[in-house]
Amino acid sequence: MNSPLIDPFARAITYLRVSVTDRCDFRCVYCMSENMTFLPKKDLLTLEELDRMCTNFIRLGVEKLRITGGEPLVRRGIMTFFDAMSRHLETGALKELTLTTNGSQLEKYADDLYAAGVRRINVSLDTLDDDKFAEITRWGRLPQVMRGIDAAQKAGLRVKINTVALAGFNEAELFTLQAWCAERDMDLTFIEVMPMGDIGNEDRITQYWSLKDLRTRLEERFTVSDLAERTGGPARYIRLEETGQKIGLITPLSHNFCESCNRVRITCTGEIYTCLGQEGHSDLRGPLRASDDDAHLETAIRAAIGLKPKGHDFDYSRQTASGQVSRHMSHTGG
140 marked as binding residue: no
3-state secondary structure of 196: strand
pLDDT of residue 231: 63
193 in a domain, yes or no?
no
Q: How far is CA 255 from the centre of its chain?
A: 18
- Examine residue 209 and state whether it is found in any structural domain, yes or no: no
Would the annotation count 54 as a binding residue?
A: no
Residue 38 resides in a domain: yes
Residue 66, annotated as binding a ligand: yes
In a domain, 47, yes or no: yes
Per-residue pLDDT of the chain (334 residues; tens, 9 = 90+): 578 999 999 999 999 999 999 999 998 888 888 888 888 989 999 999 999 999 999 999 999 999 999 999 999 999 999 999 999 999 999 999 999 999 999 999 999 999 999 999 999 999 999 999 999 999 899 999 999 999 999 999 999 999 999 999 999 999 999 999 999 999 999 999 866 444 444 455 677 899 999 999 999 999 999 998 866 567 899 999 999 999 999 986 555 557 778 999 999 999 999 987 677 899 999 999 999 999 999 999 999 999 998 875 544 443 444 444 444 455 555 5
Flag whether 118 is in a domain.
yes
pTM for the full predicted model: 0.88
pLDDT at 201: 45
24 marked ligand binding residue: yes
What is the model's pLDDT at position 268? 96
Q: Is 318 annotated as a binding residue?
A: no
Is position 109 within any domain?
A: yes
Which structural domain, as residue segments, surrounds residue 86? 15-159+258-332
Asked whether residue 51 is assigned to any structural domain, the reply reads yes
Angle at 252 between CA 248 and CA 254, to 5 degrees: 90
- Residue 87, domain CATH: 3.20.20.70
**Adjacent-strand bridge partners of 322:** 315
Q: Do 32 and 293 touch, CB atoms closer than 8 A?
A: no
Query: How many structural domains is the chain composed of?
Result: 1
Q: Is 138 annotated as a binding residue?
A: no
Tell me if 164 is assigned to some domain. Answer: no
Does residue 100 have a known ligand-binding role?
yes
For 149-189, what is the HEC assignment? HHHHHHHCCEEEEEEEEECCCCHHHHHHHHHHHHHCCCEEE
224 labelled binding-site residue = no
